[in-house]
A and B are shown apart, each in its own frame.
Chain A
C-alpha cells in the first residue's frame, strides 16, 4: 500500500528523538485519533540547524515526520513555514488517499514548533 520511499522513511526514519534544549516544540494530533506528533527544533541565526521528531501513529505518520525533518533542516524560518502537507506527501512520492488527511500532520507539527519558538522570542523581547 505504501511506495518504496515511504517504506524507507518508515523503516529508517531520519532524526528520531527529542532535543533536550529545543528552541521550539510543536505537538499536533492526539492518541484518540491514532496519530500524535512532536517536533523539536533548534534555531541559530534564523536557520533551523536541527529538527527532531517523536511520533505515535501509522506508517504514513512516521514517514511524513521523518520527511519533514529532512526538508526543514538548514532552511530559514520563513522557508520552513512555507513547507506544506502536500510538499511532504510529494517528496515521499505520494501517500494513499485515505492517509492524506489523517496522518499527514508533520508540516503542521513543524509550523507549531516554529510558532512556539517565535512566541518564546517575543516573550524575551
Chain B
C-alpha cells in the first residue's frame, strides 16, 4: 500500500543530502572537537562551520549559537537559564497559554521554585492578546516567551510587536521557532528576540540536535555542568555528525524554502477548500492567513479524532489529532481549549502538516479518504443522527 506522510509537524524525513553530509563524521572524521590532534581539529572545524551556517541563516553571529539536543532542551535552557541567572532582578515570567509543553512545563517547574508565571490568553484564532500582555508586565518581569508559530494550529504570533514592549521595559524576549524555521522567514533582528529555539528534525535534519540562539550580552545560566563546551553554556562532547546534519538542513532550507513555502501554501489552501466543499459541519482552527504554509487543523463535528486517525492510517495516511482520546492524559489539546473550543469540538480535530514533497495527487487522495471516513463515522454516530445529516 502506498503511504502518505502528512505529519511533518511531528517530524520530517532526513534529506538524503543531509545524510551524505553527516556520514564522514561517523567513521572518518570521528574526532572529539576538544582534542588538539588532527582528528579533533577536523571535528572542531566542522563544528565551527556548522555554527556559522546556522548563525547566517537567522542573522546571528556564530558565537550566539549554542548547539543542544533539540527544541525541548533549547526551550528549557532559555527559560530556566534566564530565570536562574536573573532572579535577583526579578522572578516574574510571561508566556502564552498555547506554548509547547517544553515551555509550559519548564515554567510550571519554576513556579515550584518561587518564580511567578503569567499565562497570557489568545483570541479564537490563536493570536496572543496584546493588551493582556501589556498589562501582565511588572517591574520584576525578567522574561517574555512567546512561540513564533504554534505547532498544532500554525498561527504565527506578532513577535516583533511583542519585542517593542519587551525592549521598552528591558525584558528579555525568547521565542520558540521550532515550527517556523524553514517555513517562514526567521531573523533574530527582524523579530527582535534575545533568545530563539531551533530544532533540526522538523526541517529534514536528524533527530537529537537543535540550537538556542542567545543574543550577545544576554546573561544565561548553564543547566548542564561539565567541560567548557559551547562557551560554558552546554557541557558535553559535541554531537558533530548531528550538528553537521542540522547545519546542512538549515542551508538547504535557506536555498529552497521560498519555493517550498509557495508549494505547500497551494496544497494547504487546496486541501482546505476541497474539504470545506465536500464535507458539511467542518471548521478550520487557527488563523486563516497568519498561519504556517504547511499547517491545516480541521475539526469535524459529531465524530472523534482517534477513530478518524485509525481509519486514515488503514488507508496509509499519517496525520495527528488533538482529541483527548488519543492522548495519554485523556485531556483535550490545551491549544484548542485556549481558543475557546468546547471539548466536544476538540475531539473531532485533525492536524495535517504538509511537507515539501507532498503532491496535489496526495492531497486529492487524502480529501477522498476524509470524505469516506467522515461519512462512515457519522453514519455510526448517535449525535450526527440527531442533526439529521445525510
A residues contacting B by CB (< 8 A) are 2, 7, 10-11, 13, 16, 18, 27, 31-38, 54-59, 61-62, 98, 102-103
Contacts and interface: CB of A to CB of B under 8 A. Distances in A.
A23 B358 CA distance: 51
Contacts of B381: 54-56
A72 to B, nearest CB: 18
A57 B385 contact: no
Interface string B368-390: 00000000000111111100000
Contact of A102 (B330, B343, B385): B330
Contacts of B328: 98
Shortest 4 CB-CB contacts between residues of A and residues of B:
A58-B325, A58-B306, A31-B344, A54-B382
Contact of B325 (A11, A27, A35): A35
B378 to A, nearest CB: 9
B307 interface: yes
B229 to A, nearest CB: 39
Contact of A36 (B306, B342, B379, B383): B383
Which of under 10, 10 to 19, 20 to 34, or 35 or more describes the interface residues of B? Answer: 20 to 34
A102 B325 contact: yes
Contacts of A33: 324, 343
Contacts of A61: 304, 307, 325
A5 B328 CA distance: 22
A34 B325 contact: yes
A36 B343 CA distance: 13
5 contacts: A18-B385, A34-B332, A38-B382, A55-B381, A56-B384
B382 A56 contact: yes
Nearest to B323: A34
A59 B306 contact: yes
A113 to B, nearest CB: 13
B257 interface: no
Contacts of B303: 56
A16 B304 CA distance: 17
Interface string B148-174: 000000000000000000000000000
Interface in B324-368: 324-326, 328, 330, 332, 342-344, 347
Contact of B307 (A18, A31, A62, A102): A62
A37 B381 CA distance: 8
Interface of B: 302-304, 306-307, 310-311, 314, 323-326, 328, 330, 332, 342-344, 347, 379-385
Q: Is the interface of A mostly helix, strand, loop or mixed?
A: mixed
A57 B307 contact: yes
A31 B383 CA distance: 8
Contact of A56 (B304, B311, B342): B304
B334 to A, nearest CB: 15
A1 to B, nearest CB: 9
Nearest to B344: A31
Nearest to B325: A58
Nearest to B306: A58
B183 to A, nearest CB: 30
Nearest to B310: A59
A79 to B, nearest CB: 25
A107 B302 CA distance: 22
A55 B382 contact: yes
A10 B343 CA distance: 23
Contacts of B344: 31-32, 34
A11 B383 contact: no
A62 B325 contact: no
A68 B282 CA distance: 31
A18 to B, nearest CB: 7
A36 B307 CA distance: 13
A62 B347 CA distance: 15
Contact of B343 (A13, A18, A32, A54): A32
A27 B382 CA distance: 9
A14 B187 CA distance: 56
A86 B332 CA distance: 26
A11 B311 contact: yes
B307 A34 contact: no
A58 B311 contact: no
Contacts of A103: 325
Nearest to A10: B310
A57 B314 contact: no
Contacts of A7: 310
Contacts of A34: 304, 323-325, 330, 332, 343-344, 347
B330 A57 contact: no
A25 to B, nearest CB: 10
Name which of A13, A34, A54 has the most chain B CB atoms within 10 A of its CB: A34
A35 B383 CA distance: 11
